[in-house]
Structure 1
Amino acid sequence: MIGSLTLDQLRVLVTIADTGSFSATGRKLGRVQSAISQSISTLEDVQGVALFDRSGHKPRMTEAGRVLVEQARHVLASAARFEAMAAGTRAGLEPELVIAIDPLVPSAPLIDSLSMLSKTYPHLPVSFSTEGLGGSLRRLRSDAAAIAICLLLPTVPDDIAAYPLLRIDMQAVVAASHPLAALAKMATQGRPVTQADLEPHVQLVLSDPVAPESDNYGVASARLWRFVDLGRRLDFLLGGFGWCRMPLHLVAGHINSGELVALQIENDPTPKEGLTIYAAHKRSRTPGPAGRWLLDDLKNRLQS
């Protein structure tokens, strides 16, 4: 019962719309036609709305009925999801899976796993959010997320269980119009860009908006412009506002076209083999069945 409604009344209404008649609905639901008629009459009386026009030889659905039958479909679908989620919870499935992802993580390697997750657990609510750099770790520690796909710099924290998935190559770059671009040309002749060269210029950094000062790995400039999303930072990079390190796959085309110039930095702390992307969770909070399934699928796809 939902107030003065019952799910059975709504089911009868939707079945009439699908089959085209009261008699066909009775056959499909295994009831006599008089029971179908009584269910609809009760629904009309309680709601004070005529769902069918009975003036002709055969009842025809009214305009109000056509609108309300679509609402009935939504209610029945929601009820089915409710029952499926309750059944999953009884079986030990987590009621929701929240995933946090750092902005540097490429989307393509994750799409297949997330698609298969939705097919394997079709009624599991999945929340997906892209965080500022370091935000995924913060959400794990606050229990706002069960799994993070993230960077963990400079090392994996002791309270986090992390599984390496893939590496992304990073490249320091600057717009061709920026003063540092001239130093980049000198680097090809054996003089890399130094800390002293970088310090006066704006560095475009990714940071967590909740705790912008918490992660300063790789910072070399005295002037920082902080960004949450990678796309907007790329816009400002191409606009010549500063320099930064970017995933190579995102800037290779701009380097080849001459819009961006690669910087070779002396004693650059960025690993030459690239940055490691991890799947991670708190050691004190083991993911449920769906979370473990996702972790296993990611590892099988990306580590093979």
Structure 2
Amino acid sequence: MEANPTLDQLQVFLAVAEEGGFSAASRKLNRAQSVISYTITNLEAQLDVRLFERTGTRQPRLTDAGSALLEDARRMVAGLHLLRARARSLGQGLEGQVAVAVDALVPMPVLTAVLKAFRSEFPAVSVRLYTGALGAVADLVLKREVDAGIAGGAAMGPADLVGRKIGQKQNIPVAAPAHPLAQAREPVPAPIVREHFQIVITDLTEHTSGQDFHVHAFNTWRVTDVATKHALILAGLGWGGLPAWLVEDDILNGRLIELSLEPYPRADYSLYAVRRSDAPYGPATSWLVDRFEHELENFGQ
């Protein structure tokens, strides 16, 4: 017969192993020591292995088999606790999973702070996270692949989307120190700016088809993500606008120079929480969106 250990047996096994003995486990679980001993004996019989060495030692000691099975027991107990917690959450009307798409313009410290707080508040609700630029967030929301999006203003076109402004940050035009624009007399006029390669983000979706955002150069290199754009500008391959939160340390340490360009001053950009008009937020998603607003408001202060 296949072994079918119960949750109770596994919890007793963990208690004895972690507390270092039957008497300590009985105190932790508030059970008689004889019950603890009986439970372990039954579990060993089911598994057909000896979990603890009881002879020649003052306290029971994990055998090699017991040590090997300990992590499995921990995972099984944790999984059952998670199942119970998720069942309780679903019974209370919480989502079992929240899917969210986040624009690359969202400061990474904000994103990690939000997710850390979310895990603490909703430990039984899993998260599916997407990142993208320009129309990618709107595209995922419209296709119902995510419950909410945190997007820049480029996502606010489609009529099927409902948006709420939750934050505002800045873009800064930058270049590597050796770049001609970094060494030019300030402010640099538009005709000179247009002569130098600009690194820009391009949209993989059709939502911003035919639109350019702060593109001032005749020649451009187009990339699909902020990290690549950042790396190319650091390497001196062109100039471009990047979020202030991303480049402040580079500017402070001389890796990048903030440019003074007539056609491209520092520019504010807004961030929005977006959803489909026919898909209101669930409780956990609503909390997540509010937390993004809170963290964006306090970031950098």
1:285 corresponds to 2:279: yes
> 1:58-207, aligned counterparts within 5 Å?
59-153=60-154, 155-181=156-182, 184-185=184-185, 188=187, 192-194=189-191, 198=194, 201-207=196-202
Normalised by the length of structure 1, the TM-score is 0.79
- Report what 1:242 is aligned to: 238
CA contact (8 A) 2:154 2:208 kept: no
Query: In terms of mean alpha carbon deviation, does 26-35 or 230-239 score higher?
Result: 26-35
Corresponding residue SS for 1:144: coil
CA contact (8 A) 1:134 1:215 kept: no
Distance 1:303 1:56, change over 3 A: closer
1:35 CA displacement:
4.2
Question: 2 CA distance for matches of 1:44 and 1:94?
Answer: 39
1:227 corresponds to 2:223: yes
Q: Residue type of the partner of 1:7?
A: L
1:232-291 Cα offsets, whole Å, 9 max, x none, are: 32221122212211223444565574843515244x5x8x75111112222222121011
Question: 1 CA distance for matches of 2:267 and 2:258?
Answer: 20
Question: 1 CA distance for matches of 2:71 and 2:291?
Answer: 38
Question: 2 CA distance for matches of 1:61 and 1:174?
Answer: 61
CA contact (8 A) 1:193 1:263 kept: no
Question: 1 CA distance for matches of 2:102 and 2:262?
Answer: 28
> 1:14-33, aligned counterparts within 5 Å?
14-26=14-26, 28-29=28-29, 31-33=31-33
- Report what 1:55 is aligned to: 55
Percent identical across equivalent pairs? 31
Distance 1:253 1:14, change over 3 A: closer
Question: 2 CA distance for matches of 1:48 and 1:262?
Answer: 72
1:226 CA displacement:
3.3
Query: In terms of mean alpha carbon deviation, does 87-96 or 203-212 score higher?
Result: 203-212
Count of matched residue pairs: 294
Distance 1:32 1:155, change over 3 A: closer
1:78-101 Cα offsets, whole Å, 9 max, x none, are: 210111011101110011122221
CA contact (8 A) 2:149 2:274 kept: yes
Question: 1 CA distance for matches of 2:106 and 2:112?
Answer: 12
1:60-87 Cα offsets, whole Å, 9 max, x none, are: 3213213322321221112101110111
CA contact (8 A) 1:156 1:162 kept: no
Question: 2 CA distance for matches of 1:128 and 1:148?
Answer: 10
1:208 CA displacement:
4.8
1:94-138 Cα offsets, whole Å, 9 max, x none, are: 111222211122234455544433332232222334324432222
Question: 1 CA distance for matches of 2:21 and 2:193?
Answer: 80
CA contact (8 A) 1:4 1:46 kept: yes
CA contact (8 A) 1:153 1:217 kept: no
1:167 CA displacement:
1.8
- Report what 2:259 is aligned to: 262
Question: 1 CA distance for matches of 2:11 and 2:38?
Answer: 14
Normalised by the length of structure 2, the TM-score is 0.80
Corresponding residue SS for 2:40: helix
Question: 2 CA distance for matches of 1:134 and 1:263?
Answer: 29
Corresponding residue SS for 1:50: coil
Distance 1:228 1:263, change over 3 A: same
Distance 1:158 1:55, change over 3 A: same
